[in-house]
């Protein structure tokens, strides 16, 4: 693999004030597709792209991305969490967006090399990590609406802290009952750029009303919970942990899948099924709704303290993190930060 190192390394930011996705490391991985095949991956200094204003992805959103994390554990090991799942999902997203799939092993090896080069950018503290953002865009400089013939796959890295500015404080979520994010048959289960553009207006409106994010309902009946902007949802109702089934319009989260496995292994009853807002309101009113939390790479395990629906704020668990949420947070992050045994083989050491 060709590697070109920067002559001008950046001054690193203060790792105690990272926020999310604001700083980028010195290098990136780039791999281009043309004439029906992928070229070799290359590591180059982090720099702007030179793209025609007519570029396909800039007009028709033919673009997909992933989110994963690299960690530095207490023994100084550099690790990544379930990265194969990210590349698998990215190839599924590519198929849905009419983009070429790629060899995940080649992308993974190039990523590992990139992370080794950027090892000093990985924050070693709990709650912080090096966020990995693989992205693929269609780059034909042509305005006709058809799949691009040329593509760029690239990976950038960003040292990050908590996704929510308030850290582990429970989030306030507003149920959106006018706009929809995705519908069955659409692109909801792909991690594509357009899904996020579609979610922005409702998100901004929720923030203006004092909430952190929007919880989406199904597009057909506006009744069943789908997910939140950057995380999958779980509700503890009675003695069951319920999470919306992957019906086709929901992103199949890797943290969701890992959480289901961890909770089931500990003996919790986890059910994947459709869950309506009527059921959540009823469970809230009769005291059965004990906890709510979201899961995601950026969001990790985020307790939900308020769910607002039809003008009413439902306060969950007195706005505190519940026991099951805490169990999951401790055990998932325990594995990710190398403090708990990884009996699942989710962690790959790369140093």
Binding residue for ligand PLP, selected from 63, 123, 203, 296, defined by CB under 6 A: 296
206 belongs to the binding site for ligand PLP (CB under 6 A):
no
213 belongs to the binding site for ligand PLP (CB under 6 A):
no
63 belongs to the binding site for ligand COI (CB under 6 A):
no
Binding residue for ligand COI, selected from 67, 100, 303, 338, defined by CB under 6 A: 67
Could you tell which of ligand PLP, ligand COI, none binds residue 254, using a CB distance below 5 to 8 A set by kind?
A: ligand PLP
Q: Which lies closer to ligand COI via its Cβ, residue 148 or residue 230?
A: 230
91 belongs to the binding site for ligand PLP (CB under 6 A):
no
Q: Token match 């668990």: residue?
A: 317
Q: In the chain, at which residue ranges do the beta strands (DSSP E only) sit?
A: 2-3, 27-34, 37-38, 42-45, 63-65, 68-72, 78-81, 129-138, 151-160, 171-175, 213-217, 225-228, 232-237, 240-244, 269-273, 289-296, 300-309, 312-315, 347-349
296 belongs to the binding site for ligand COI (CB under 6 A):
yes
161 belongs to the binding site for ligand COI (CB under 6 A):
no
- Cα–Cα distance between 170 and 174 in angstroms, integer? 13
Total of chain residues touching ligand COI, rule CB under 6 A: 5
Could you tell which of ligand COI, ligand PLP, none binds residue 227, using a CB distance below 5 to 8 A set by kind?
A: ligand PLP
295 belongs to the binding site for ligand PLP (CB under 6 A):
yes
Q: Are 134 and 89 in contact (CB under 8 A)?
A: no
Q: Token match 């997203």: residue?
A: 93
Give the nearest distance from C-beta 67 to ligand COI in angstroms. 2
Q: Who's near 159: CB < 8 A, 6+ residues apart?
A: 12, 13, 15, 18, 23, 25, 121, 122, 123, 128, 129, 130, 131
Total of chain residues touching ligand PLP, rule CB under 6 A: 14
135 belongs to the binding site for ligand PLP (CB under 6 A):
no
- Cα–Cα distance between 213 and 205 in angstroms, integer? 9
Q: Which residues here bind ligand PLP, judged by CB under 6 A?
A: 67, 227, 229-232, 251, 253-256, 295-297
């Amino acid at each position: 693999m060709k590697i070109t190192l920067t002559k001008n390394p950046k001054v690193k930011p203060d790792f105690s004030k990272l926020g999310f996705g604001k700083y980028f490391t010195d290098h990136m991985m780039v791999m281009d597709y043309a004439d029906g095949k992928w070229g070799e991956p290359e590591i180059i200094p982090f720099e702007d792209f030179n793209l025609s204003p007519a570029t396909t992805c800039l007009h028709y959103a033919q673009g997909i991305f992933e989110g994963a994390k690299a960690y530095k554990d207490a023994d100084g090991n550099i690790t990544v969490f379930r990265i194969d799942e990210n590349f698998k999902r990215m190839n599924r997203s590519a198929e849905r967006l009419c983009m070429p799939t790629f060899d995940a092993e080649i992308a993974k090896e190039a990523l590992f090399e990139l992370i080794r080069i950027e090892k000093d950018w990985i924050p070693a503290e709990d709650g912080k990590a090096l966020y990995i953002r693989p992205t693929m865009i269609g780059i034909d400089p042509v305005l006709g609406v058809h799949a691009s013939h040329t593509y760029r796959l690239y990976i950038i890295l960003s040292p990050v802290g908590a996704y929510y500015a308030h850290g582990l404080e429970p989030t306030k979520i507003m149920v959106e009952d006018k706009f929809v994010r995705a519908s069955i048959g659409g692109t909801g289960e792909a991690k594509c750029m357009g899904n996020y553009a579609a979610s922005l207006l409702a998100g901004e409106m929720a923030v203006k009303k004092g909430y952190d994010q929007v919880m989406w309902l199904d597009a057909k009946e506006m009744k069943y919970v789908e997910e939140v902007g950057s995380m999958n949802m779980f509700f503890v109702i009675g003695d069951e942990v319920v999470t919306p089934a992957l019906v086709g319009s929901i992103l199949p989260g890797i943290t969701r899948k890992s959480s289901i496995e961890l909770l089931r292994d500990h003996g919790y009853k986890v059910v994947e099924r459709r869950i309506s807002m009527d059921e959540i309101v009823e469970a809230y009113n009769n005291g059965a709704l004990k906890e709510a939390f979201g899961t995601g790479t950026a969001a990790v395990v985020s307790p939900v303290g308020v769910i607002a629906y039809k003008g009413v704020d439902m306060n969950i668990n007195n706005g505190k993190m519940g026991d099951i949420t805490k169990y999951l947070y401790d055990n998932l992050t325990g594995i990710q930060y190398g403090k708990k045994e990884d009996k699942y083989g989710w962690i790959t050491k790369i140093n």
